[in-house]
Structure 1
Amino acid sequence: MNIKNLSALFVISLGLGSFGAAAANLTIDMTGIKELKGQLLVAVYDSAESMASGSNAFNRQIIKVNKSEHSLTLNDVPAGEYGVMVFQDLNGDNKLGRNFVGIPSEPYGFSTNPNLMGAPEFKDIAFAVGSDDSRIQISLE
């Protein structure tokens, strides 16, 4: 291969690199915060497997609660399906508090705001992120 062909191949391969996986910003608006204390623990999952493991989140964030609504923006999120789980840790133990029968005693919410009895599956809270910026709202209960 001569230098001219090699240069052309290099230029073509640079151009093809720009057609890789699309990425967008994802903004998560969290509303319904009644007690202005503690922190919001936010976990973003990119598959049923990562959600099932509980420890393999695509992204985790902790936000100090100081108002009744908070927003979080994640930059350069690759296109795909995601599910978000949020809870307000009122007592600072980094765990979702539950009563004696296992019902959450601290506020929580999920992407798509499903009406569920019991813990959600990924398919219950999944939403798509494409090449355009996305915004979702999670209402804490």
Structure 2
Amino acid sequence: MVPAVIAVVRGLRSDRGHVRGGLYGSQATFTHGGQEVATCSAAIANGVARCRFESVPAGRFAIGMMHDEDDDTVFDQGFMGIPEEGYGFSRDARGTLGAPSFDSAAFDYDGRSARSLSITMRYGI
């Protein structure tokens, strides 16, 4: 079996679009597009998505997810950066007026077998 991290995302308000995610290896890269260790995209069925990050090495990681309801691959934000689409983080970490810290969302992965994590999608602030 190929080493993988699977994010099971719940709390989605619709089955429209896809859930997209990034797996990050440090605070310096956390939530910065293009600096992910791995990415995933998954369809939604009955308010749940299973997003699989493939070929993940051993290490300490954090996940950031979005519900891309309009399928434009962009995390839509409105006035003053208020999210218009859903978002969630590993360990269901929460930030204050922004993303949580890497450490609050981080988990260890052994790189040998599949690991499943549950993430709850949030909407608004």
TM-score interval for Structure 1 and Structure 2 normalised by the shorter chain? 0.7 to 0.9
Instruction: Tell me if 1:136 matches 2:117.
Output: yes
Q: String of CA shifts for 1:72-128, please: whole Å, max 9, x gaps.
A: 333442211011111011122221111212111111100010132122221221111
For residues 35 and 15 of structure 2, what CA distance do their matches in structure 1 show?
A: 29
For residues 88 and 28 of structure 1, what CA distance do their matches in structure 2 show?
A: 13
Instruction: Tell me if 1:119 matches 2:76.
Output: no
State the one-letter code of the partner of 1:136.
Answer: L
For the aligned residues, what is the CA RMSD? 2.0
Residue 18 of structure 2, aligned match among 39, 60, 70: 39
Matched pairs, number:
119
State the TM-score, normalizing by the size of structure 2.
Answer: 0.81
Which structure has more helix as a fraction of its residues?
1
Greater C-alpha Rg: 1
Structure 2 gap segments, 5+ residues each:
none
State the TM-score, normalizing by the size of structure 1.
Answer: 0.73
Q: Which moved more, 1:80-89 or 1:53-62?
A: 53-62
